[in-house]
């Protein structure tokens, strides 16, 4: 097989790859200088759509509607766009070996790709229950959501099991967003998770109680403090029941598992320095290996604002880290310098008629403000996190664009506070005056 050589090569075809390609095009890239190698069969797209509008019973999102970079209000990069720019999209191609010393990648079909500069944008893979040998976890109609193929299979199952029963395993992003999507499709939903409340990595008990209450009002049954330990199936191999550790048995026509992901770094083990489960980078996303950059989920980078290193799994960072790496590559070619990455952590979610945003760090004391009664016709509430007398994080449900901008500014500026009581009384007004 002929060996292909590219000046710039991006391995991984997710959100980061698309945003990196756009940044390269902005700086000017010659035909056939840049290639993206992706295991998926389609050009990079905005992955968050899969757990939201893709599953709607009406007006569902479909490609080409949500190719990057529409998620951040940019131009939609259709496959034709890459052709026009002379960027090669190498799709349905899985890389099985990376030799960074010889700057070579090898695919499962035995093709070899050489590069001058590599950007690792491999993202995460989902954690599967079969990895832990959970009994019956290979039954049909047990779904995971990572790629568009997964979403297509789930859409088919929702149609086939009209008004059926679903069990969602996990109470994080995927669990909350998919439980909402299934209810909108009139599926009977039970959500199961081991923690004392949903989204424990971000939510406080006060925040979580609102969402759990809201979901209950929408008909979602919540089963906390236990895990799925096994599945039984019908004669045709389709899942029938979910067996929980506490002895409960839940009927299920569909099971969706959302118990987290793992950064896909295996290909590079022993060839790059690692930290906190990811590939260690500097503020330009350069790794310890010359001419190799890592962005998105796989990168552990210096978070300037807090003076430590972190790995962030979120679409916002996937976009911004990709752009930063390309700016750094292009600047170094010209002998110029750019500012180090100065990221403000940002997370958001939309489900049912709700929409929340969070900025900053969720450490220290918390102050709840506003109306977090799930039965309110128009609930609106938030929380501040205070550490060493400064506000370091802010969460807001149902904020306007202006209010969301204001809370982002608070998290960035970290204003001091005299008293928590005063902050609780001022609520959102505190953010609006910063």
What are the pLDDT digits (tens) for 228-280?
A: 999 999 999 999 999 999 999 999 999 999 999 999 999 999 999 999 999 99
Digit-coded pLDDT (tens) for 328-387: 999 999 999 999 999 999 999 999 999 999 999 999 999 999 999 999 999 999 999 999
CATH numeric code, 4-125+262-333? 3.50.50.60
The domain ranges of the chain are: 4-125+262-333, 138-259, 353-432
- pLDDT of 1 > 80? The answer is no
| Residue among 327, 372, 21 nearest 383 (CA) | 372
Helix, strand, or coil (residue 247): coil
- pLDDT band, residue 2 (cuts 50/70/90): confident
The two domains 4-125+262-333 and 138-259 share their CATH topology (first three levels equal): yes
Digit-coded pLDDT (tens) for 53-64: 999 999 999 999
Report pLDDT for 434: 87
- pLDDT band, residue 105 (cuts 50/70/90): very high
Digit-coded pLDDT (tens) for 155-183: 999 999 999 999 999 999 999 999 999 99
- DSSP β-bridge partners for residue 104: 99, 114
Return the number of other C-beta atoms located less than 10 Å from residue 161's C-beta: 17
81 near 22, Cβ under 8 Å?
no
Give every CB contact of residue 321 below 8 A, 6+ residues apart in sequence: 16, 285, 295, 296, 299, 301, 341, 343
Cis? peptide before 69, omega within 30° of 0: yes
Digit-coded pLDDT (tens) for 307-336: 999 999 999 999 999 999 999 999 999 999
| Residue among 217, 218, 213 nearest 371 (CA) | 213
DSSP string, 384-398: EEEETTEEEEEEEES
Report pLDDT for 147: 96
Report pLDDT for 32: 94
Q: What is the dihedral of CA 273, 344, 78, 338, to 10 degrees?
A: -70
CA angle, 138 then 143 then 146, to 5°: 120
Return the number of other C-beta atoms located less than 10 Å from residue 325's C-beta: 29
Report pLDDT for 299: 98
Digit-coded pLDDT (tens) for 374-427: 999 999 999 999 999 999 999 999 999 999 999 999 999 999 998 999 999 999
Q: Which residue has the tokens 């569902």?
A: 60
- Between the CA of residue 335 and those of 6, 124, 328, 329, 332, what are the distances in Å? 21, 33, 10, 10, 5
Q: How many CA atoms lie within 13 A of 44 on its CB side?
A: 35
Return the number of other C-beta atoms located less than 10 Å from residue 377's C-beta: 6
At the second CATH level, the architecture of 353-432 is 2-Layer Sandwich (3.30)
Q: Please give the share of the chain, as a percent, with pLDDT higher than 70.
A: 100
CATH superfamily assigned to domain 138-259: FAD/NAD(P)-binding domain (3.50.50.60)
């Amino acid at each position: 097989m002929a060996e292909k050589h590219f000046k710039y090569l991006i391995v991984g075809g997710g959100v980061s790859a698309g945003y990196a390609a756009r940044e390269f095009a902005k700086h000017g890239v010659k035909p056939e200088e840049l290639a993206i190698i992706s295991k998926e069969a389609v050009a990079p797209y905005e992955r968050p759509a899969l757990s939201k509008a893709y599953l709607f019973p009406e007006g569902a999102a479909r490609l080409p509607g949500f190719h990057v970079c529409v998620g951040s209000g940019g131009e939609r990069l259709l496959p034709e766009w890459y052709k026009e720019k002379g960027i090669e999209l190498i799709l349905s191609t899985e890389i099985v070996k990376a030799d960074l010393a010889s700057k070579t990648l090898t695919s499962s079909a035995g093709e070899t790709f050489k590069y001058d500069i590599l950007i690792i944008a491999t993202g995460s893979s989902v954690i599967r229950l079969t990895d832990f040998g959970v009994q019956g976890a290979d039954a049909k109609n047990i779904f995971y959501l990572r790629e568009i193929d997964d979403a297509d299979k789930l859409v088919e199952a929702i149609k086939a099991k009209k008004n059926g029963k679903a069990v969602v395993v996990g109470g994080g992003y995927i669990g909350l967003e998919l439980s909402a999507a299934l209810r909108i499709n009139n599926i009977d939903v039970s959500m199961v998770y081991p923690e004392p409340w949903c989204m424990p990595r971000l939510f406080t008990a006060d925040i979580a109680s609102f969402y759990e209450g809201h979901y209950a009002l929408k008909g979602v049954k919540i089963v906390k403090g236990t895990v799925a330990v096994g599945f039984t199936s019908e004669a045709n191999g389709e899942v029938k029941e979910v067996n929980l550790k506490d002895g409960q048995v839940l009927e299920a026509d569909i099971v969706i598992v959302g118990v987290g992901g793992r950064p896909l770094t295996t290909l590079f083990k022993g060839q790059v320095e690692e930290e906190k489960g990811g590939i260690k980078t500097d503020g330009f996303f350069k790794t310890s290996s010359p001419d190799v950059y890592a962005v998105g989920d796989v990168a552990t980078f210096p978070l300037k604002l807090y003076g430590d290193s972190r790995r962030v799994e979120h679409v916002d960072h996937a976009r911004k880290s990709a752009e930063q790496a390309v700016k750094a590559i292009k600047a170094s070619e010209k002998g110029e310098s750019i500012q180090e990455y100065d990221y403000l952590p940002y997370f958001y979610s939309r489900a049912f008629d709700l929409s929340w945003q969070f900025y900053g760090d969720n450490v220290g004391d918390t102050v709840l403000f506003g109306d977090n009664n799930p039965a309110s016709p128009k609930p609106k509430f938030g929380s501040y996190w205070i550490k060493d007398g400064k506000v370091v994080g802010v969460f807001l449900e149902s904020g306007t664009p202006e209010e969301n901008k204001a809370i982002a500014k608070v998290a960035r500026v970290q204003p001091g506070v005299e008293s928590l009581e005063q902050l609780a009384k001022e609520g959102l007004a505190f953010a609006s005056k910063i």
